[in-house]
Chain A
């Protein structure tokens, strides 16, 4: 599942430059919700989503997409678009995270869980600080790549530190964040839920940077050498391709 703070804006951009992206179902449900918010009736929404699929892929078979489009439109009809300006992290919360003795992985995980808990609070209109995301999504956002056993150990350490609690349900892996404290000065404003782990590392002064093109925060390749990095790998390749194209056109003139 992809997490977007401003789904309406995202959907408008997706409609302007049609692409199904890595998760077509997610894209379609956001686009469907956009049309519902524009005041379209369900039949109209369905037709527009079908048109969008064909814009993304002219050879797409609408019969084969029927079930996905149906599910996306039904989901969109039941759930409002998420439009959150920012997620704030306060001084007291950052202090609590910095006091974690175990290591950077635990701190990154705690930071990510906190941000996600606030996201779900706004999304579900509650104040419970439960994180309803899957483990794979959480670890991806926290930029932690490790075994399941080690991941469970991270959660175990955070629970022992009193920062999170587990569900009583035997097969529910959701956690409740217990160190949230909004009554403290705001130190960080999160406007992008990608690479939350890296965002925390950048905040504490580690060699990370935000790509000027797409905004994603990644680790610097060689922090001690060379010019300051501006682009992430994907944007760098795109910029380089654009520059070679321009220089080729120039040389032909």
Chain B
């Protein structure tokens, strides 16, 4: 493929002067927008560019690029208009309204609405609890253990990023870590139901990682859920079902669950 087809800088070297403007208008020097979902490196390049450009816009004009784009051209200063022009010109992906880009943007909008809707729903974690009382001494002791656990998991993640262990080794190391901390938790609070309530209050009362709760008391949480609802519902293949997915029909079925105390 001639370089001038995909490299803007090669046009002046390889193409005659009368044809250069035609080549410049059709040169494929960047991948289209939707390809950021195919090439992770392109997605990273795009995200980094948008983040850095937005930061620059905040620093220069005290407003982000989306805020500038919402305004009409007449309400923006010359510098702001020049900034926006540069922003589109140096975008690492092609943002034209081709068919694939349009489809990609429609799907993104749908997902954004879905995610926004889901985040508004408040999750009532009390259904996971055993209903036991606990002392403040136990609460502060388990809180310390949780903070230590989170630090250790974070430190391991940094180490794993450098050392790059294989999946089995990673799984084994994390399992060892979980086992060690579980032992520490049981030593501090031998009553498993009390421990379950403590970890749930610690993890779910604020926007924190819930990993500690599920790793330490996952089986107790599932048992509590099963006690509350003695059946599990799931979609089952059914020719006359009302749920359609991938050209198959499903209907919701329930099975009773026996809780082993």
Taking Cβ atoms with an 8 Å cutoff, the residues of A that contact B are 24-25, 60-61, 64-65, 68, 135, 148-149, 152-153, 155-156, 159, 166-167, 170-173
Contact = CB atoms under 8 A, between A and B. Distances in A.
Contacts of B83: 170
Contact of B59 (A64, A68, A166, A170): A166
B113 interface: no
19 contacts: A60-B163, A61-B165, A64-B163, A64-B164, A148-B55, A152-B59, A153-B58, A156-B58, A156-B59, A156-B62, A166-B60, A167-B56, A170-B53, A170-B56, A171-B53, A171-B90, A172-B52, A172-B56, A173-B52
B59 A155 contact: yes
Contacts of A153: 58, 62
The main secondary structure of chain A at its interface with chain B is helix
A171 B56 contact: yes
Given A61-B163, A64-B165, A171-B90, A135 B55 contact: yes
Interface of B: 48-49, 52-53, 55-56, 58-60, 62, 83, 86-87, 90, 162-165
Contacts of B164: 64
Nearest to A155: B59
A152 B90 CA distance: 22
Contacts of A61: 163, 165
A88 B60 CA distance: 30
A89 B214 CA distance: 53
B165 A152 contact: no
A-B pairs, top 7 by smallest CB distance, nearest first, are A152-B58, A171-B52, A155-B59, A152-B59, A170-B86, A171-B49, A64-B164
B176 to A, nearest CB: 14
Contacts of A172: 52, 56
Nearest to A67: B164
B162 A68 contact: yes
A236 B56 CA distance: 41
